[in-house]
Amino acid sequence: MSSFSPGFRGRARSLADRLPPGQYPTEQFPVLSAGPTPRVSTDTWAFTITTETGETHSWSWTEMMALPQQETVTDIHCVTRWSKFDTPWRGVSLDAFFEDVETAADFVLAHSYGGYTTNLPLEDLLDGKAWLVHTYDGYPLSPEHGGPARLLVPHLYLWKSAKWVRGLRLSDDDEPGFWESVGYHEYGDPWREQRNWGD
Protein backbone atom coordinates (compact mmCIF):
# COMPACT_ATOMS: atom_id res chain seq x y z
CA MET A 1 0.00 0.00 0.00
CA SER A 2 1.27 3.45 -0.83
CA SER A 3 0.43 6.89 0.38
CA PHE A 4 1.60 10.14 -1.09
CA SER A 5 1.99 13.68 0.10
CA PRO A 6 -0.76 16.11 -0.96
CA GLY A 7 1.62 17.39 -3.67
CA PHE A 8 1.11 14.14 -5.53
CA ARG A 9 -2.66 14.13 -5.56
CA GLY A 10 -4.61 15.78 -8.33
CA ARG A 11 -2.92 18.49 -10.37
CA ALA A 12 0.85 18.66 -10.29
CA ARG A 13 2.07 21.50 -8.11
CA SER A 14 5.15 23.50 -8.96
CA LEU A 15 8.14 23.13 -6.66
CA ALA A 16 7.62 26.72 -5.50
CA ASP A 17 4.11 25.82 -4.31
CA ARG A 18 5.60 22.98 -2.28
CA LEU A 19 8.10 25.22 -0.47
CA PRO A 20 6.80 26.63 2.84
CA PRO A 21 7.59 30.29 3.59
CA GLY A 22 11.19 31.03 4.57
CA GLN A 23 12.51 27.64 3.37
CA TYR A 24 15.00 26.75 0.61
CA PRO A 25 15.14 23.43 -1.22
CA THR A 26 18.16 21.16 -0.87
CA GLU A 27 19.27 17.89 -2.43
CA GLN A 28 21.40 17.14 0.64
CA PHE A 29 20.13 15.28 3.66
CA PRO A 30 21.73 17.21 6.54
CA VAL A 31 22.11 15.53 9.92
CA LEU A 32 20.80 17.52 12.89
CA SER A 33 21.24 15.87 16.27
CA ALA A 34 21.30 17.55 19.67
CA GLY A 35 23.69 14.96 21.11
CA PRO A 36 25.65 11.83 20.27
CA THR A 37 24.10 9.19 18.03
CA PRO A 38 22.83 6.29 20.15
CA ARG A 39 23.59 2.83 18.77
CA VAL A 40 20.47 0.75 19.20
CA SER A 41 20.41 -2.91 18.24
CA THR A 42 17.24 -4.32 16.71
CA ASP A 43 17.72 -7.32 19.08
CA THR A 44 16.91 -5.15 22.09
CA TRP A 45 14.87 -2.42 20.39
CA ALA A 46 11.29 -1.94 21.58
CA PHE A 47 8.59 0.61 20.88
CA THR A 48 6.16 1.30 23.72
CA ILE A 49 2.96 3.31 23.91
CA THR A 50 1.99 4.27 27.47
CA THR A 51 -1.55 5.55 27.97
CA GLU A 52 -2.68 8.22 30.42
CA THR A 53 -3.84 5.42 32.76
CA GLY A 54 -0.42 3.74 32.69
CA GLU A 55 -1.36 0.88 30.37
CA THR A 56 1.52 -0.12 28.09
CA HIS A 57 1.61 -1.62 24.61
CA SER A 58 5.03 -2.76 23.37
CA TRP A 59 6.39 -4.11 20.10
CA SER A 60 9.73 -5.84 19.56
CA TRP A 61 11.51 -5.28 16.25
CA THR A 62 10.10 -8.54 14.89
CA GLU A 63 6.57 -7.66 16.00
CA MET A 64 6.87 -4.18 14.46
CA MET A 65 8.09 -5.63 11.16
CA ALA A 66 5.12 -8.03 11.13
CA LEU A 67 2.68 -5.07 11.08
CA PRO A 68 1.49 -3.78 7.67
CA GLN A 69 4.32 -1.88 5.99
CA GLN A 70 3.75 1.26 3.93
CA GLU A 71 5.84 3.25 1.48
CA THR A 72 5.54 7.01 1.65
CA VAL A 73 7.16 9.68 -0.49
CA THR A 74 6.97 13.07 1.14
CA ASP A 75 8.53 16.52 1.49
CA ILE A 76 10.31 17.32 4.77
CA HIS A 77 10.96 20.74 6.28
CA CYS A 78 13.56 21.61 8.92
CA VAL A 79 13.19 24.71 11.06
CA THR A 80 16.80 25.63 10.12
CA ARG A 81 15.18 26.43 6.71
CA TRP A 82 16.10 23.51 4.48
CA SER A 83 13.37 21.50 2.78
CA LYS A 84 13.88 18.25 0.93
CA PHE A 85 11.34 17.10 -1.65
CA ASP A 86 10.18 13.56 -2.38
CA THR A 87 11.96 11.68 0.41
CA PRO A 88 11.15 7.94 0.13
CA TRP A 89 10.47 6.03 3.36
CA ARG A 90 9.17 2.67 4.43
CA GLY A 91 7.63 1.91 7.78
CA VAL A 92 4.47 1.41 9.80
CA SER A 93 1.62 3.89 10.03
CA LEU A 94 1.08 5.07 13.60
CA ASP A 95 -2.56 4.07 13.06
CA ALA A 96 -1.47 0.42 13.17
CA PHE A 97 0.10 0.85 16.62
CA PHE A 98 -2.94 2.70 17.98
CA GLU A 99 -5.47 0.11 16.75
CA ASP A 100 -5.80 -1.57 20.17
CA VAL A 101 -4.87 1.41 22.35
CA GLU A 102 -7.73 2.81 24.40
CA THR A 103 -7.15 6.46 25.19
CA ALA A 104 -8.98 9.72 25.71
CA ALA A 105 -5.75 11.72 25.88
CA ASP A 106 -5.14 14.65 23.54
CA PHE A 107 -1.35 14.89 23.69
CA VAL A 108 1.72 12.77 23.12
CA LEU A 109 5.28 13.12 24.36
CA ALA A 110 7.56 11.12 22.08
CA HIS A 111 10.78 9.97 23.70
CA SER A 112 13.92 8.58 22.17
CA TYR A 113 16.91 6.42 22.98
CA GLY A 114 19.43 9.04 24.09
CA GLY A 115 16.86 11.14 25.94
CA TYR A 116 15.39 13.44 23.25
CA THR A 117 11.70 14.28 23.61
CA THR A 118 9.13 16.16 21.52
CA ASN A 119 5.43 16.86 22.03
CA LEU A 120 2.56 16.58 19.56
CA PRO A 121 -1.24 16.50 19.60
CA LEU A 122 -2.33 12.86 19.27
CA GLU A 123 -4.50 13.69 16.26
CA ASP A 124 -1.36 14.73 14.34
CA LEU A 125 -0.08 11.16 14.58
CA LEU A 126 -3.30 9.49 13.35
CA ASP A 127 -5.28 9.13 10.11
CA GLY A 128 -2.31 8.43 7.87
CA LYS A 129 -0.31 11.49 8.89
CA ALA A 130 2.64 9.83 10.69
CA TRP A 131 4.84 6.75 10.55
CA LEU A 132 7.49 4.86 12.42
CA VAL A 133 10.05 4.48 9.62
CA HIS A 134 13.01 2.11 9.38
CA THR A 135 14.00 2.34 5.70
CA TYR A 136 15.13 5.33 3.65
CA ASP A 137 15.50 5.18 -0.13
CA GLY A 138 15.52 1.39 0.00
CA TYR A 139 18.22 1.04 2.67
CA PRO A 140 18.00 0.53 6.44
CA LEU A 141 17.80 3.97 8.05
CA SER A 142 21.31 5.03 9.08
CA PRO A 143 22.01 5.69 12.77
CA GLU A 144 22.72 9.38 12.02
CA HIS A 145 19.22 9.82 10.58
CA GLY A 146 17.54 7.98 13.45
CA GLY A 147 18.02 4.29 12.71
CA PRO A 148 16.99 1.71 13.47
CA ALA A 149 13.67 3.60 13.53
CA ARG A 150 12.39 7.14 13.86
CA LEU A 151 9.11 9.00 13.78
CA LEU A 152 8.11 10.66 10.50
CA VAL A 153 5.57 13.47 10.88
CA PRO A 154 6.13 15.31 7.61
CA HIS A 155 3.39 17.95 7.96
CA LEU A 156 5.25 19.47 10.95
CA TYR A 157 8.82 20.80 11.17
CA LEU A 158 11.26 17.92 11.29
CA TRP A 159 12.22 18.37 14.95
CA LYS A 160 8.87 16.64 15.69
CA SER A 161 10.13 13.54 13.84
CA ALA A 162 12.00 12.02 16.78
CA LYS A 163 15.00 9.96 15.73
CA TRP A 164 15.72 6.69 17.63
CA VAL A 165 12.17 6.83 18.96
CA ARG A 166 11.47 4.32 21.74
CA GLY A 167 8.04 5.31 22.92
CA LEU A 168 5.04 7.58 23.08
CA ARG A 169 3.53 8.74 26.35
CA LEU A 170 -0.11 9.83 26.18
CA SER A 171 -1.29 12.64 28.40
CA ASP A 172 -4.21 15.01 28.95
CA ASP A 173 -1.70 17.87 29.20
CA ASP A 174 0.62 19.25 26.54
CA GLU A 175 4.08 18.89 28.04
CA PRO A 176 6.93 20.59 26.12
CA GLY A 177 9.71 18.41 24.78
CA PHE A 178 13.44 19.12 24.37
CA TRP A 179 13.34 21.95 21.80
CA GLU A 180 9.89 23.19 22.80
CA SER A 181 11.11 23.88 26.35
CA VAL A 182 13.89 26.15 25.03
CA GLY A 183 11.78 28.27 22.72
CA TYR A 184 10.66 26.26 19.71
CA HIS A 185 6.97 26.49 18.86
CA GLU A 186 4.79 23.89 20.62
CA TYR A 187 3.08 22.86 17.33
CA GLY A 188 5.51 23.68 14.49
CA ASP A 189 3.44 24.03 11.29
CA PRO A 190 5.89 24.97 8.50
CA TRP A 191 3.11 26.50 6.37
CA ARG A 192 2.32 28.96 9.19
CA GLU A 193 6.04 29.42 9.99
CA GLN A 194 5.57 28.32 13.59
CA ARG A 195 9.28 28.30 14.41
CA ASN A 196 9.38 29.90 17.86
CA TRP A 197 7.06 30.62 20.78
CA GLY A 198 4.51 33.20 19.74
CA ASP A 199 4.88 32.69 15.95
Ligand X SMILES: Nc1nc2c(c(=O)[nH]1)N[C@H]1C(S)=C(S)[C@@H](COP(=O)(O)O)O[C@H]1N2
Residues contributing to the site for Mo ion (CB under 5 A): 32, 78-79, 159
Whether the bond between 148 and the residue before it is cis, its omega within 30 degrees of 0, is: yes
Q: What's the chain's length in residues?
A: 199
Smallest distance from the beta carbon of 25 to ligand X, in angstroms? Answer: 14
Of 114 and 121, nearer to ligand X (C-beta) is: 114
Contact 152, 87 (CB under 8 A): no
Question: Residue 19 touches which of ligand X, Mo ion, none (CB < 5 to 8 A by kind)?
Answer: none
Member of 19, 78, 101, 105 binding ligand X (CB under 6 A): 78
User: Min. distance of Cβ 64 from Mo ion in angstroms?
Assistant: 25
Q: Does 168 bind ligand X (CB under 6 A)?
A: no
According to the binding rule CB under 6 A, does residue 34 interact with ligand X? yes
Q: Which residues within the stretch 44-63 sit at the binding site for ligand X (CB under 6 A)?
A: none
Least Cβ distance, residue 34 to ligand X (angstroms): 3
State yes or no: residue 112 binds ligand X (CB under 6 A): yes
Give the whole-angstrom CA distance, residue 95 versus residue 131: 8
- Determine the residue with CB nearest ligand X: 116
Q: Following CA atoms 62, 118, 159, 22 in sequence, which dihedral angle do they give, to the nearest 10 degrees? A: 150
Q: What is the C-alpha to C-alpha distance for residues 30 and 32, in angstroms, rounded to an integer? A: 6
Q: 3-state class of 180 per DSSP?
A: helix
Residue type, 191: W
